[in-house]
Amino acid sequence: MIHSFETPFGGFTLTIANGVVWTLQFGIVDVDAVAHPRAGAIPENPADTALAEEAERQLRAYFAGKRKRFNLPIAPAFAFNRMVRLALQRIPFGQTRTYGEVAAACGNPGATRAVGNACGSNPVPVIVPCHRVVAANGLGGFSSGIEIKKRLLTLERYALPGYWKDWKPQDDCVLTFIHVKGEILLIVKKRGLGQGKVNAPGGHIEPGETPVEAAIRETREEVGLTPINPVSRGILQFAFLDGYTERCEVFEAQAYTGTPVSTPEAEPFWCDETAIPFAEMWADDRYWIPSLLSGKKIRARFVFDGDRLLWR
């Protein structure tokens, strides 16, 4: 049987027959294009359907940073490829090994090229983590493309417990919510990260500037309002699979001076706090803005792939 599904990381297609996973391919693949075509012609049976659902569940957990190993029956490999597969499955989550190190682990240190060939022909990437094998002087190749390999390695690094302990963002930013009489001031962002999305006024903290000074300046620059006595409500941490990281301090002000104006950066509008357009905002916003508006302190972290939320 052929089983396709979407995740925040992208689409995937599993080929399952006779109680084992034969292939995992990136993308939603037509039945005629799948590497094991017999599976599409085999009538579905409850065991294969259950396996497809379990494989999807485990893969979703992996991409949410909640699973580090897979427990799935996969089609057998033979001879040297089987040794390589076993060696790949022993590489710890979040770590890498060179092709030479894998060859040595297979008892044949000179078989570096053969290891590369075995990784390249691996029919179940991610489940058998060939993306964790790199060249001695770089990332090496990957059957589904080097960019996907980079994203997988970055995802695993973010899921390691020690990563956030020593986390240092590339950028420090602020967001400012002006919250008055049951309404909040929001903007449609016209440029930069999140262009076209609804957000609150905000931006980068300039050198020598305090977060509260940045909150006041950015709001004034983007919408022409000066928030009065903005209060810090918490910290958000963001990490993206392209490697970008950002720390954002969130402020709330319950008074302001001025009149909202459109600028090259933002189009402001007032919004009832019970009708926030979360569908037009970053996917993380629905998880913390209600707490902010109810007066609670917030602290959260989010991992994105582009504008798709992977986990929180």
Which residues are designated catalytic?
130
Residue closest to 69 by CA, chosen among 77, 79, 61, 78: 61
Q: How far apart are CA 287 and CA 298, in angstroms?
A: 10
Pairing status of strand 202-204 against strand 171-180: antiparallel
CA angle 150, 75, 26 (to 5 degrees): 30
Counted residue by residue, the chain has a size of 312
Cα–Cα distance for residue pair 119/144, rounded to 1 Å: 11
The 8 Å CB, 24+ separation contacts for 70-79 are 70/126, 70/127, 72/21, 72/127, 73/19, 73/20, 73/21, 74/20, 74/21, 74/22, 74/124, 74/127, 74/128, 75/20, 75/21, 75/22, 75/123, 75/124
Q: How many Å apart are CA 76 and CA 16, to the nearest integer?
A: 13
What span, in angstroms and rounded, lies between the C-alpha atoms of 117 and 105? 16
* Torsion from C-alpha of 163, 168, 169, 175, nearest 10 degrees: 100
Kindly provide the b/e burial profile for residues 275-288, where b requires at least 16 CB atoms within 10 angstroms of the residue's own CB.
ebeeeebbbbbeeb
Instruction: Return the SS3 of 247.
Output: strand
